[in-house]
Amino acid sequence: MSTTDQPAGKAEITQWPRATNTGHLHGDYFPRAARVALADPQLRRNIGNATTIIREKRGSVVAELDDWAELRAAGAAIKDATMADLGDHLERLETEVAARGGVVHWAADADEANRIVIEIARRAEARDVVKVKSMATQEIGLNEALAEAGISAWETDLAELIVQLGDDMPSHILVPAIHRNRSEIRDIFRREMGNVGVPAPDGLTDDPPALAEAARIHLRNRFLTTDMAISGANFGVAETGTVMVVESEGNGRMCLTLPRVLVTVMGIEKLIPTWRDLEVYLQLLPRSSTGERMNPYTTMWTGVTQGDGPEEFHLVLLDNGRSTILADPEGRPALRCIRCSACLNVCPVYERTGGHAYGSIYPGPIGAVLSPQLTGVADNPSLPFASTLCGACYEVCPVAIDIPTMLVSLRAKVAADPDSGDARERAVFRSAAWAMSRPQRWTRLLRLMRLGRFLARRGSFRNLPPPFNGWTATRDLPAPPDQSFRDWWTAQRDGGGDA
């Protein structure tokens, strides 16, 4: 319960990626990172504005459907059934992709996935690659790994482009640059575009269409001249080996169709068995993520087709901790996640801290349950506590992931972990539990607490020692009453209970 640490410098929260094989999944100590974020009023304003708008849009399009509850239940059930037989479905996917001219690679962790992609790029003699917005490749730190291998990765999603040009990190699953407002974006474009390619037009304003046009001009040449593209996948359909990306801008489609070589990095939980199952998710996803009835672009491809689109297709199936989650019945529901980000947009903690405070590229409620499970709790011990358990996330989740319950179970794992548990806190709680689990002890404790009244000023405490100072820094704590409820009851009712 340390609440007395000095505020951290910005450097401390942007220190990832660390040198491990799981990629960008490690958080810093959340309370400290959150304090840095809270001190930035521009950040809070940008995130507050954006999440309020998306929240309202989602609310109204979800309310249009009478069968939302059934869709949500189906979304959960299909994923659960798929997870129960994931191995078989994955083999089916592999067979179908291979039968249609694609190559399937299996990557146990981030390092292996990166090595596979670099190897493909080398063989294709690609010095540059264009990228479709993808969480999986952010998760494994692919851009950095490619850069180390001398290959430049160019983000083409508008928000990812802003993040990349600003030498920044994504702070939201769907809107990676949600922490930036449009004048900050204009400044980044003006400052950085010229350094890496076509510069921003003279006199660029912060008008959204002007910013989009600047990005379009900047990217056009890249699409036309780059030989290799890398994407993630929203869904992979096992029965035909079809992979799918859902997006809003059309830049993804350019990447998926123009280059000669296409590599898709897909988390193994993105798999669904049949096309019929897609019906459910293509309704749940756009309404939950962008608050649209349907997303503007849905691109799907199946292996390679002569004379149409990429000549070479590689599918990298990424585990990176997922099979560990699969083996844990309490954690498994996290694998249902379709990365819609609805839970981020309603989370009161995320709304105030933004995504960077979570460290991992998966922020917000889903990040707080996913990141510690992917890395093991020892690498992310503070994230399960970054929630009031208010339940807003579970309420909106289109695949009904009970995030608060998972957080509680993860907290127990943190507390029980020899490296992450706080022995002092455990001892304090043990004493409290000792006193609170027997009525006689509890009654005596309540009487003892009354002595606290002598230390209070005008009926409340304003400045308590640690660990209670975290409370009294901003809130009063009333002094205990002179009589507990049970003492009142005994006195009034003359032992009317059944002690």
Partner 1 sequence: MRVALFATCLVDAMSPGVGKATVEVLERLGCTVEFPMGQTCCGQMHTNTGYPDQAAPMVAGFQEAFADHEYIVAPSGSCVASVKHQHEWIAAGQLTDRHVTEARRLADRTYELSQFIVDVLGVTDVGAFYPHRVTYHPACHATRMLGVGDRPLQLLRAVRGLELVELPEATSCCGFGGTFSFKNADVSSAMLTDKIHHVLSTAAESCVAVDASCLLHIGGGLSRNRTGVTTVHLAEVLAATEAP
Question: Binder to partner 1 among 17, 199, 309, 481 (CB under 8 A)?
Answer: 481
Question: Which of ligand SF4, partner 1, none does 429 bind, CB closer than 5 to 8 A by kind?
Answer: partner 1
The minimum distance between CB 69 and ligand SF4, in angstroms, equals: 15
The minimum distance between CB 100 and partner 1, in angstroms, equals: 46
String marking each residue 365-394 x if it binds partner 1 according to CB under 8 A: -------------------xxxxxxxxx-x
Asked whether position 122 contacts partner 1 by CB under 8 A, the answer is: no
Give dist(CA 255, CA 250) in Å, integer. 9
Asked whether position 293 contacts partner 1 by CB under 8 A, the answer is: no
Q: Which amino acid is at 443?
A: T
Stretch 287-326 residues interacting with ligand SF4 (CB under 6 A): 288
Piece of the chain touching partner 1 by CB under 8 A; list 123-131, 228-236, 304-312, 484-492: 484-492
Stretch 337-366 residues interacting with ligand SF4 (CB under 6 A): 337-343, 366
Question: Which of partner 1, ligand SF4, none does 338 bind, CB closer than 5 to 8 A by kind?
Answer: ligand SF4
Piece of the chain touching partner 1 by CB under 8 A; list 56-64, 300-308, 366-374, 480-488: 480-488
The minimum distance between CB 257 and partner 1, in angstroms, equals: 43
Asked whether position 9 contacts partner 1 by CB under 8 A, the answer is: no
The minimum distance between CB 284 and ligand SF4, in angstroms, equals: 8
In the block, residue with structure tokens 């005994």: 490
Question: Which of partner 1, ligand SF4, none does 391 bind, CB closer than 5 to 8 A by kind?
Answer: partner 1
Question: Which of ligand SF4, partner 1, none does 60 bind, CB closer than 5 to 8 A by kind?
Answer: none
One-character DSSP codes across 274-306:
-HHHHHHHHHHHHHHHTS-SS-SEEEEEES-BT
Asked whether position 254 contacts ligand SF4 by CB under 6 A, the answer is: no
Asked whether position 68 contacts partner 1 by CB under 8 A, the answer is: no
Stretch 319-348 residues interacting with partner 1 (CB under 8 A): 348
Nearest to 82 by CA among 415, 326, 448: 326
Stretch 384-403 residues interacting with ligand SF4 (CB under 6 A): 396-399, 401
| Binding footprint of ligand SF4, residue count (CB under 6 A) | 14
Note whether 394 and 42 are within 8 A (CB). Answer: no
Asked whether position 297 contacts partner 1 by CB under 8 A, the answer is: no
Q: Which amino acid is at 483?
A: Q
One-character DSSP codes across 207-235:
-HHHHHHHHHHHHHHHHHH--EEEE--SE
Give dist(CA 150, CA 395) in Å, integer. 45
String marking each residue 413-442 x if it binds partner 1 according to CB under 8 A: xxxx----x---xx--xx-xx--xxxx--x
Note whether 281 and 248 are within 8 A (CB). Answer: no
One-character DSSP codes across 230-260:
EE--SEEETTTTEEEEEESSSHHHHHHHSSS
For the record, the structure tokens of 349 come out as 């903690």
Q: Measure Cα distances from 271 to 25, 90, 113, 234, 441 in Å.
A: 21, 7, 18, 9, 54
Piece of the chain touching partner 1 by CB under 8 A; list 122-130, 184-192, 210-218, 405-413: 405-413
One-character DSSP codes across 125-148:
T-SEEEE---HHHHHTTHHHHHHH
Question: Which of ligand SF4, partner 1, none does 343 bind, CB closer than 5 to 8 A by kind?
Answer: ligand SF4
One-character DSSP codes across 339-365:
---HHHHH-HHHHHH-SGGG-SSS-HH
Question: Which of ligand SF4, partner 1, none does 78 bind, CB closer than 5 to 8 A by kind?
Answer: none
Stretch 24-63 residues interacting with partner 1 (CB under 8 A): 30-31, 34-35, 38
Asked whether position 237 contacts ligand SF4 by CB under 6 A, the answer is: no
Q: Measure Cα distances from 460 to 466, 468, 488 in Å.
A: 17, 13, 21
String marking each residue 363-382 x if it binds ligand SF4 according to CB under 6 A: ---x----------------
Note whether 82 and 272 are within 8 A (CB). Answer: yes
Bridge partners of residue 262, in order along the sequence: 229, 313
For the record, the structure tokens of 413 come out as 């794992």
Residues forming the site for ligand SF4 (CB under 6 A): 288, 337-343, 366, 396-399, 401
